[in-house]
Structure 1
Amino acid sequence: MRVFSIAALVAFLIDQISKYVVIHSMELARVGSIDVWPPLVNFRYGENRGINFGLFGDGSEVSRWFLIALGVVICAAVTFWMYRRRFDLWPQISAGLLVGGAMGNVVDRLYYGYVLDFLNNSCCGLRNPFVYNVADIFIFAGAIGLVLSTDDKKTGAKKPPKVPGKKRQ
């Protein structure tokens, strides 16, 4: 569980430091956009009051507190799951990335009232209007990592039941 905790802490810190540097130190909130490596990597200031792609982002306090509670519940459920069973290295890292990223966004909602987003990628003549942050990368990488690296031994193939008097071939 130490690996899980370290991965969560590292993901959380990288997310919060990246937001502070880009939004505050580089003053992205003031200038609105910075082209880093156009069109592949751009910084665009965004305030996400919803979830992915602004879903449920009506800006109400009810939505804000619901999303905070949802993030905390998901983090608690993943943490509880990790502590109940023994997992190998990759599931622990994946779960840690997911929890660290989710907690980074929860802290944003608590402190700012919304999630700070700043990353934007476009390519090949297609303009991407959406922005995201490092926490979102950790959340998706962690979720995909969990799907790919965990297997539930309970759901493995079952042996057919023995029928009395019949031999198996």
Structure 2
Amino acid sequence: MLNRGLARWLGLALLVLVLDQASKHAIEATFQFGEQLALIPGFFNLTLAYNPGAAFSFLADAGGWQRYFFTTLALGVSLFIVFLLKKHHAETRYALALALILGGALGNAIDRMLLGHVIDFIQIHYQQRWYYPAFNIADSAICIGAVLMVIDSFRGQAKSEKVA
């Protein structure tokens, strides 16, 4: 039986996963590959892009092995995160970070397993001069979780320095 603290964080990870998958399916049902819709002209588009690699299309043209590598990595990291959540479920910021990363990692792993690529659809740019690589809700959750982890590590350092 799950304790309440752990269940809360796993529920958040599940919410991230569901929102990620629902948004990807909605975009894929609405857009053709490469199609763009300017929501804030000169800054923010919705688009349909496929990423067979990792962040920033790292290893996108590696020949296909990366699909299995990144899927296996995401599943392994997810198991480790569940272990960490069991141990640290009472540490709010750290557990929040872990839950966001878990939901995001599983969302992108599902895409890789089922499709062989990750669906991206959020595009930030500056007019027609600079484009940030397209991303999705899972990527956003992973990044927010990573930032929270860094903040948590600095706050933990500050507490231990006060004690010393």
Q: TM-score range by the shorter chain?
A: 0.7 to 0.9
The alignment of Structure 1 onto Structure 2 pairs a total of residues equal to 156
Per-residue displacement from partner, 1:9-33 (whole Å, max 9, x unpaired)?
A: 1110110111111121x2x135622
> Is the contact made by 1:7 and 1:100 (CA closer than 8 Å) also made in structure 2?
yes
Moved over 4 A (4+): 150-153
Per-residue displacement from partner, 1:86-105 (whole Å, max 9, x unpaired)?
A: 43222222211110011000
> Is the contact made by 1:108 and 1:116 (CA closer than 8 Å) also made in structure 2?
yes
| Secondary structure of residue in 2 paired with 1:43 | strand
Structure 1 length normalisation: TM-score? 0.81
- TM-superposed deviation, 1:36: 1.8
Q: CA 1:2–1:104 in structure 2 vs 1: closer, same or farther (change >3 Å)?
A: same
> Is the contact made by 2:89 and 2:95 (CA closer than 8 Å) also made in structure 1?
no
Q: Does 1:141 align with 2:144?
A: yes
> Is the contact made by 1:47 and 1:116 (CA closer than 8 Å) also made in structure 2?
yes
- TM-superposed deviation, 1:76: 1.3
Hey, what's the Cα distance between the residues in 2 that align with 1:31 and 1:48? Answer: 12
Between 31-40 and 90-99, the greater mean CA deviation after superposition: 31-40
Structure 2 length normalisation: TM-score? 0.84
Q: Please, which of 34, 40, 54 is the counterpart of residue 43 of structure 2?
A: 40
- Give the residue type in structure 1 aligned to 2:63: S
Structure 2 residue aligned with 1:23: 28
Hey, what's the Cα distance between the residues in 2 that align with 1:63 and 1:100? Answer: 20
Q: CA 1:141–1:31 in structure 2 vs 1: closer, same or farther (change >3 Å)?
A: closer
Q: CA 1:63–1:76 in structure 2 vs 1: closer, same or farther (change >3 Å)?
A: same
Q: Does 1:8 align with 2:13?
A: yes
- TM-superposed deviation, 1:37: 1.8
Structure 1 residue aligned with 2:160: 156
Hey, what's the Cα distance between the residues in 1 that align with 2:140 and 2:33? Answer: 24
Q: CA 1:32–1:145 in structure 2 vs 1: closer, same or farther (change >3 Å)?
A: same
> Is the contact made by 2:16 and 2:104 (CA closer than 8 Å) also made in structure 1?
yes
Q: Does 1:62 align with 2:68?
A: no
Hey, what's the Cα distance between the residues in 2 that align with 1:132 and 1:47? Answer: 10
Hey, what's the Cα distance between the residues in 1 that align with 2:77 and 2:123? Answer: 26
Structure 2 residue aligned with 1:118: 121
What residue ranges of structure 1 are gaps of 5+ in the alignment?
Answer: 160-169
- Give the residue type in structure 2 aligned to 1:15: D
Report the aligned-residue RMSD: 2.2
| Secondary structure of residue in 1 paired with 2:48 | strand
